[in-house]
A and B are shown apart, each in its own frame.
Chain A
Amino acid sequence: MSDAPAMTSMNLALEGRAAALLPLTVRDLVLRVDRATVLDGVNLDLGASGCTMIMGANGAGKSLLLKLLHGLMPPTSGQIRWGDHAPSAVTARQALVFQKPVLLRRSVAANIDFALKARGKDMARREALLDHVGLSHKADQPARLLSGGEAQRLALARALATDPEVLFLDEPTASLDPASVLAIERIVSEARGRGVRIIFVTHDIGQARRMADDVVFLHRGRVAEHTAAASFFPEPHSDAARNYLSGTIVV
């Protein structure tokens, strides 16, 4: 991939800011959707920095957990606290990149401008952001004609435009080719390096190995285990995670 993102320095002084939002504490979180119990008593504590991968089979409730943490929807019961704050109070200090990027029907540049303007950020940062994700040469092109990888990089740039303290990623590379996957991972790693707290949902075990500091494994609406990456991959505690990693089908 020729237009891999260049690691330009960005004036995003984030160090230390995320501390105010963290730790994250989740207690007895329950979510029912149309009578189906999607999350059934989730308990979780996340520390101040790093990249947490959330894994689990389809339907384990990963995406909905992200939305709850981001304050996009209220839980049925239970509690989520970002430091002293409720999730909906701190949505603006976080950003979420969806599996399928939701791009506006405008140019690439206008998509960045939209986020900058919505959050009252310095509009002059657009160039740096596009450069950062390797899309400077496509600034004037319609965003919805980008390839899958480009579109996701644009979505990522738009998320970074809001200077998030926490960045959620919901399977952002699910349908991308390997080069695009690496490009995305590099941008995310760079953000992590600047102190952005990363919470990353993935099905890609290789990706999880490359990116994770710790892994939260969801199974049937509960946290089956929450382990440091170094010990999760060689030796998961839970049967569910072990089966998942070994490729055994578990329903």
Chain B
Amino acid sequence: MGEALGLAVGLVLSGDADLLQIVLLSLRVSLTATAIACLVGLLIGALVAIGRFRGRNAVLILMNALMGLPPVVVGLLVYLHLSRSGPLGFLGLLYTPTAMIIAQAILITPIIAALSRQVLEDLHAEYAEQFRSLCLTRWQTVQALLWDARYSLLTVGLAGFGRAVAEVGAVIIVGGNIDHLTRVMTTAIALETSRGDLALALALGIILLVIALGVNAAVQAVRMTAARQAYV
């Protein structure tokens, strides 16, 4: 562990270009996937939160169950679609960062949807009568809820990002862990582990952890500012 820690510090200090590329790709892929998942997931979460329809409970159960989607299964499904012999093969997306973004977005959309549904439903319980009194349309209600819950939803997005940036099963299948093209932190860790270079693998893990800490700290700072204004 001590060796790994030293190695991690050394790697960072050396400003290793390969490492930087891997870190940046990790961030680019997972942040983009999180943005896309938020776009879709928040909308689903909001509509389910304010909706009263037949089969709503079944939808809730499904959303919660999908939070546990195994990354490998998502990877495999995306692979089968993006493969040259698959229905979307003509796009030529397999083994590109885009494929990894797609896989991660699919993986975390249910997380964003399920968690935001809870947040938005709680907020809606507070606002519902006032909104009905103002005769808001469904779309105006969704917009208002999303905006007023923005700081809580930031945490939801963070949960999605955390899962995306930490998963290896999906991106290794659809990305292929290609050096300088689709290698991200987690697949690099998997590779070094299989090479038996456990210290380097652990060092990369430590760096990943530090990045995750940094992103979390940034979001926490934003939230605390918002809390002081009673906007949370």
On A, residues with C-beta under 8 Å from B are 67, 70, 72, 91-92, 94-96, 98, 102, 104-106, 114-115, 118-119, 142, 144-145, 162
Contacts and interface: CB of A to CB of B under 8 A. Distances in A.
A98 B135 contact: no
Going nearest first, the 4 A-B pairs with the smallest beta carbon separation are: A144-B230, A102-B130, A142-B229, A92-B135
A115 B230 CA distance: 20
A129 to B, nearest CB: 15
Interface string B202-229: 0000000000000000000000000001
Nearest to A143: B230
A91 B129 CA distance: 12
B140 A72 contact: no
Nearest to A101: B130
Contacts of B136: 118
A118 B135 contact: yes
Contact of A72 (B129, B229, B231): B129
24 contacts: A67-B129, A70-B133, A72-B133, A92-B135, A94-B133, A98-B130, A102-B126, A102-B127, A102-B129, A102-B130, A104-B148, A105-B148, A105-B230, A105-B232, A106-B148, A114-B144, A118-B134, A118-B140, A119-B134, A119-B135, A142-B229, A142-B231, A144-B229, A145-B229
B134 A162 contact: yes
B135 A91 contact: yes
Chain A binding surface SS class? mixed
Contacts of A104: 127, 144, 148
Given A95-B133, A114-B144, 19 more contacts: A70-B133, A92-B135, A96-B129, A96-B133, A98-B129, A98-B130, A102-B126, A102-B130, A104-B148, A105-B230, A105-B232, A106-B147, A106-B148, A118-B136, A142-B229, A142-B231, A144-B229, A144-B230, A162-B134
Max count, chain B CB within 10 A of own CB: residue among A67, A106, A118: A118
B84 interface: no
Contacts of B140: 118
A82 B146 CA distance: 34
B129 to A, nearest CB: 6
A85 B229 CA distance: 42
B129 A145 contact: no
Contacts of B127: 102, 104
Contacts of B56: none
A95 B131 CA distance: 11
Contacts of B133: 70, 72, 91, 94-96
A5 to B, nearest CB: 22
A201 B135 CA distance: 22
B180 interface: no
A106 B145 CA distance: 12
Contacts of B229: 142, 144-145
B231 A106 contact: yes
A118 B139 CA distance: 11
Contacts of B232: 105
B132 interface: yes
Contacts of B126: 102
Contacts of A91: 132-133, 135
B74 to A, nearest CB: 35
